[in-house]
Amino acid sequence: MPHSNTYSRALALGLLASSLALGQGFPERFAEIRDRATPAQLYSFLYALPKGGDLHHHAALSVYASTALEIALKQSKLGYRFHVRIGFHDCGDGDNGAALIYQNINHATYNKLSECRKSDFTPLDDLSATQRKSWLSAMILDQPGETRNEFFEEIVPRMAAIHRDPYFFADSFAENLKLFGREGVRYIEAQWTPVAMERPDGTLFPADEALAIFKKRMAEPDVAASGVAYRFQTTVIRFRDDMERQVAFQFDFVDKHRDLFVGINAAGREDNDKGYALRMLNAFREGRKTHAAIPMSIHAGEKSSPGHEVRDTLLLGATRIGHGVNLISDPDTMLLMRGNRYLVEANLISNRMLDYTPDLTQHPFAEYLRFGIPVCLNTDDRGSWDSNMTDEYFHAVKGFRMSWDEVKKIGRDSLSHSFAPPDLKRTMIESYDRDVDAFERRFLDADWEAELRKIEPAISGYARRNLVP
Ligand SMILES: [Zn+2]
């Protein structure tokens, strides 16, 4: 068809002219898509949406179970051998009460077991197809009734031995950069403390050696090709008896590795009686005496009961709050956080899955946003929810009828409130603004339904179960 080019240009101009004639700018087009698209169309649209950073991201538990299994199976080449508990025998030692089905252990731990106890386990490589399916399901909150106890007390210990293999960590982090890059995320500020990383024989790598293994993997070309930048925060486990020692170590460690480590975080259940924020105040003040300022983002208010956890956590030195679900119950702190000095890292799917806000229409995310407290969307431990960043946007955009300006703002705020060094931050904000402009043109100038058919989103397991049936 000799005139097809001219024809399509005329058609495009016609569509543009008709949009303009209707006075339709992109905010109106966005609202039209939000309200009229089918769930599958909206998913494609939000998958293609340029996004900012994932600021609340636990690196190890952000890996999909399927990716984790695939990479764990390759570890035998490096000498790592994992064993999986597939049963319980009565060995007369009375110690299988706290044992977990599908728990992974390393070879050194396995070797220390009695012959009878060893028979509870099978090598990870030898799982049957059915056992592999069960193994995968055991790492995800995918069954009715599975919530925070399953997560904290089962999934975390099931994966712990595999997470201590630094080669596994580096490979799975690289895979995640690629997956996040495909859905438009351009920065990950992950939580990872490179301590307790193990050699195949179970002895510990010094933190610097574990870091060298990570850096070597990151120098491979597929990582740069992902287009996603990354930095880390270390994380204090707040309720542990050695909290003070952890804080002191992390001040030293981050200070020595500021090229890659940009902040300190603290995590762990706040409902533990040693998990409250002010227990850490002295330790953080001691750290500040001898180290130039280190940015802090700290978990706080990840609970549904009212309290001053967020206020107390700001006193620790945090300028970003992870979760902040119960900030809504503390008017003085809400007023304090209004403006632009602080940001709340919202984790909608995490809060839903762990039963802090089982009904997301009751989540305070939109109230913070519209009240003037900067917020962004994050994936937290997405491997355990089997979700992605698009799912977070889907819940937010649809559930709170977000406007286009609000969508752009949360993406931009995630970058401007990141702890990335100034040059990287500037570059990322520029690329975000450029990509947002191109996205607007793409969906304003053309027939949006036709445009959406060209997108092939990676639909997450969570989305298949909850958003795009
Ligand atoms: Zn978290």
pLDDT in tens, the chain (469 residues): 344 454 455 555 545 544 454 557 999 999 999 999 999 999 999 999 999 999 999 999 999 999 999 999 999 999 999 999 999 888 887 765 567 899 999 999 999 999 999 999 999 999 999 999 999 999 999 988 888 888 988 999 999 999 999 999 999 999 999 999 999 999 999 999 999 999 999 999 999 999 999 999 999 999 999 999 999 999 999 999 999 999 999 999 999 999 999 999 999 888 778 889 999 999 999 999 999 999 999 999 999 899 999 999 999 999 999 999 999 999 999 999 999 899 999 999 999 999 999 999 999 999 999 999 999 999 999 999 999 999 999 999 999 999 999 999 999 999 999 999 999 999 999 999 999 999 999 999 889 999 999 999 999 999 999 999 8
What pLDDT was estimated at residue 3? 44
What pLDDT was estimated at residue 97? 56
Q: What distance in Å separates the CA atoms of residue 345 and residue 375, rounded to the nearest whole number?
A: 6
Residue 285 CA to ligand 1 center (angstroms) comes to: 23
Start-end of H helices in 316-364: 331-337, 348-353
Which amino acid does the sequence have at 261?
Answer: F
Q: What distance in Å separates the CA atoms of residue 83 and residue 113, rounded to the nearest whole number?
A: 12
Residue 326 CA to ligand 1 center (angstroms) comes to: 15
Q: What distance in Å separates the CA atoms of residue 287 and residue 285, rounded to the nearest whole number?
A: 5
pTM of the model: 0.93
What pLDDT was estimated at residue 252? 98
What pLDDT was estimated at residue 143? 87
What pLDDT was estimated at residue 52? 98
Residue 60 CA to ligand 1 center (angstroms) comes to: 11
Residue 322 CA to ligand 1 center (angstroms) comes to: 6
Q: Which domains does the chain have, with CATH numbers?
A: 48-64+165-434 (3.20.20.140), 81-153 (no CATH)
Residue 380 CA to ligand 1 center (angstroms) comes to: 5
Residue 269 CA to ligand 1 center (angstroms) comes to: 10
Residue 397 CA to ligand 1 center (angstroms) comes to: 22
* 189's tokens: 């500020």
Count each helix (H run) and each strand (E run) in the chain, helices first: 24, 11
Residue 449 CA to ligand 1 center (angstroms) comes to: 37
Q: Phi and psi of 358, rounded to 5°?
A: -60, -30
Residue 463 CA to ligand 1 center (angstroms) comes to: 21
